[in-house]
Chain A
Amino acid sequence: MRRALFLSGLAAAILSSLCVLRAQAQAETRSVWDGVYTEEQAKRGETVYRKECAACHGDMLTGGESAPALTGGAFQANWNGLTLGDLFDRVRKTMPQSAPGRLTRQQDADVLAFMLSVNKFPTGKTELYRQSEMLKEIRFETKKPSAKN
């Protein structure tokens, strides 16, 4: 009996691991082209952006003398191949520059959604995660995958 329990436990553990692996495999295929934020979230993010970010990064994210653009070729090249978790961490740790970490995770995620919308990545039905560990599952790719054209 004990042995059967052990075996069934083992099987459940293996199954569960497989499920996790499969979930990870699915997650690894996600990118900013897969509709990872909602239009509503981007709108909320725009409100936060105007109040907290625009003074340095510009009205339409084009940057200023002392703050980089958050849209355009140079910005996208900077983050290409990394993840939204990396970008989220950068914002969490260093922005707004006068008081890093002052915004909530939700506000930062909303701003990130707004940035994605300005950079013309498609909207979807679910909002962005609010944790960097989970956002690390979404790749930042500047080029639209050809299979999804």
Chain B
Amino acid sequence: MFSRTVRKGSLQFGSLVVALGLVPAIASAQFHPKDTEWFSYAADVAGTRYRPLDQINASNFSDLEIAWRIKTDNFGDRPEYKLEGTPLMVNGVLYATAGSRRAMIALDPETGELFWIHGEHEGKRGGAAPRQLSGRGLAYWSDGKEERIFYVTPGFRLICLDSKTGMRVPSFGENGVVDLKLNDDQEIFPDLETGEIGIQSAPVVAKDTVIVGAAFREGMTPRSMRNNKGYVRGFDVHTGKRLWIFHTIPKKGEFGYDTWEKGSGEYTGNTGVWTQITVDEQLGLVYLPVESPTSDFYGGHRPGNNLFGETLVCVDLKTGERKWHFQLVHHPLWDMDISSAPVLADITVDGKPVKAVAQPTKQGFLYVFDRITGKPIWPMPERPVEVGNVPGEWYSRTQPIPTKPGAYSRNGVSIDDLIDFTPALRERGKEIASKYHLGPVFTPPTVSKLEGPLGTLTMGTASGGTNWPGGSYDPETHTVYVYACNSCIEPIGLVPAPKEVSDINYISGTAGRDVQILRGPGENAGADSPKLPKKRPPSQYVRLDIDGLPLVKPPYGTITAINLDKGEIVWQIAHGETPDVVRNSELLKGMNIPRTGQETYNIGTLVTKTLVIAGEGQVTTTADHPRGAMLRAYDKATGKEVGAVYMSAPQSGSPMTYMVHGKQYIVVAVSGGPYSGEYIAYTLPSAGE
């Protein structure tokens, strides 16, 4: 047991490693991941979240009991209430990110006993990071002899650890570290310590390359049209040497530069890949889901289609060279970041085998392409969309609309979507909606006016549909299972930005209300905060609920099964117990309301040999259980619920599964509200109990 401190340049970082037990030695001479292991963030690098295990099945799911649990409070200097990680389990060891310092921990997968912990003390650089807390996970690499763990700190440093000891591998980068703010084909502004760039997702390892994207603060109210750019890089797993970089905003002379008119590609930033990256190791192709450019809802300073904003880009694993791309949203204006891992699927369409990639989205479309050529499997014609009238804005007159599969969650707002438990409630819903501009998918934002509209009422935008947890894929039945928020309403109104707040013409806001600069998790709220304008007379605030009831009708959250051979929805269910506020509403007394599902946007699914498994994202208190949430299992063929087990807090990180010594386990991260982060492992009672 020991600690050490490393000095590097003008920055000082400290790392702490505490080894508590023996990590099993690698068993085989060559690394071949097994079906019983979970060796990458999404089970594999194909983004499937699938393991063909069946010990836990419909007949016994409700018998699950807690094998072990570990609170993450002490893996950082304060508890964390937003634990989003999915652990890995490889070669008899469970690895996870944990706590407010984003520590790395190695555990016994059968008992939860701590083998080692590694933490990086990054000082001000960590404190100023745009994406803090424990992040979503890590990556594992082995050549059959050595085993390494990779993760990115909040301060944007790629760390390589020896998986047996939790110690940095000195031969990687500089003493086990690659500073990701350097060697990025751009100067990170304003300096290395406070420069806005980071990431919360897990790096991905494919063959001998570790790939890392980039994330920024939330982009609704940026302080400037200028920002750092979110390039994607591949590094050698042995040395940390940069192998390639992909410019998500093309540089002058590169393909796509002309889609940034008036030279706007020079200063526009963001456009990173903040979510999980997917790789086809056999084809040697990497699939990059790219987010929105600066800023989310106003693009007047970046005229043009803005490649590769909100574009699925396929690059070569060895060189980073672009192979194909498909822009899902031209000139992004709705915060439709491509928010989750692309899913690789070998399917059969019209009798022919196709290597496909399927992309779940916030806008509720599952975009399916031939993953070698980038050609859509089913037509995605360019359809005319509404052109707005925000001064200075540049509009794309068309957007690609998939013809198959049909949208699996709501991506617009119409009167028919509004609450309809009773005619009176529908009328109250209409009254609220009348203050906004309504329309189908790709209805543009409006300037917010006191006399109306206050903005465009949207669904399937910022937090709609499928967000970072993404979908699951069953390679046996060629079916994608995907959770979606079906009621996450986002009013998008724009207000002129006061000069002292931002140099952008318009930022997100509501007429008559103070302009608020939105901040990301843990973003420094101190010296750099801009001065806000003096308070103006408040407008009548419009609540988007009716005495607590959601403005739109159920289902509020869904899980959908989509067959990729046919491009058709097989089943769709409401996921999650009816919220207390609906079940106990005086307005609905005496009515029999079927299960509504819940309005949450961060639910990930797990698919096994027979089940689709997902926890609830909201706490409920019912006659059947005390305050808590349920981890539910559905028959993957029909969507019928076959079992449920109690969790003391909502699912906040996606579940995973593995088998050790003949026993299957399911691990899920829970946290939220009063409950700090905890990983809980479930298993079946031992025989004879």
Contact = CB atoms under 8 A, between A and B. Distances in A.
Contacts of B672: 68, 78
B525 A86 contact: no
B673 A56 contact: no
B627 A81 contact: yes
Interface string A50-63: 10101110111010
B621 A59 contact: no
Nearest to B522: A97
Contacts of A65: 218, 462-463, 518, 520
Interface string B499-514: 0000000000010011
A98 interface: yes
A96 B620 CA distance: 27
A80 B526 CA distance: 33
Nearest to B545: A72
B674 A82 contact: yes
Interface string B62-86: 0000000000000000110110000
Given A66-B520, A78-B674, A98-B524, A72 B548 contact: yes
B339 to A, nearest CB: 10
A93 B80 CA distance: 10
A109 to B, nearest CB: 18
Nearest to B218: A65
Contact of A80 (B518, B522, B580): B580
B518 A90 contact: no
Interface residues of B, number: 47
Interface in A66-103: 66-68, 72-82, 86-87, 90, 93-94, 96-100
Contacts of B82: 66
B234 interface: no
Interface in B641-689: 672-674
A73 B583 CA distance: 10
B519 interface: yes
Contact of A55 (B518, B599, B600, B618): B518
Q: What interface size band does chain A fall in?
A: 35 or more
B414 to A, nearest CB: 22
Consensus secondary structure, chain B interface: loop
Given A73-B581, A77-B620, A78-B673, A55 B541 contact: no
B158 to A, nearest CB: 23
Given A94-B81, A143-B584, A77 B674 contact: no
A106 interface: no
B525 A55 contact: yes
B523 interface: yes
Nearest to B601: A65
Interface in B513-565: 513-514, 516-526, 529, 541, 543-545, 548, 550
A73 to B, nearest CB: 3
A81 B673 contact: no
Contacts of A90: 81, 673-674
A8 B627 CA distance: 47
B516 A55 contact: yes
Nearest to A64: B518
Contact of B521 (A54, A97, A99): A97
B256 interface: no
Contacts of B218: 64-66
A26 to B, nearest CB: 25
A92 to B, nearest CB: 11
B78 A93 contact: yes
A113 B618 CA distance: 24
A38 interface: no
B127 interface: yes
B521 A66 contact: yes
Contacts of B673: 68, 75, 78-79, 90
> Which 4 A/B pairs are nearest by Cβ-Cβ distance?
A78-B673, A73-B581, A98-B525, A66-B521
18 contacts: A55-B519, A55-B529, A56-B521, A59-B510, A59-B513, A64-B518, A75-B673, A80-B580, A80-B619, A90-B674, A94-B78, A94-B79, A94-B81, A97-B132, A97-B522, A98-B127, A99-B525, A143-B584
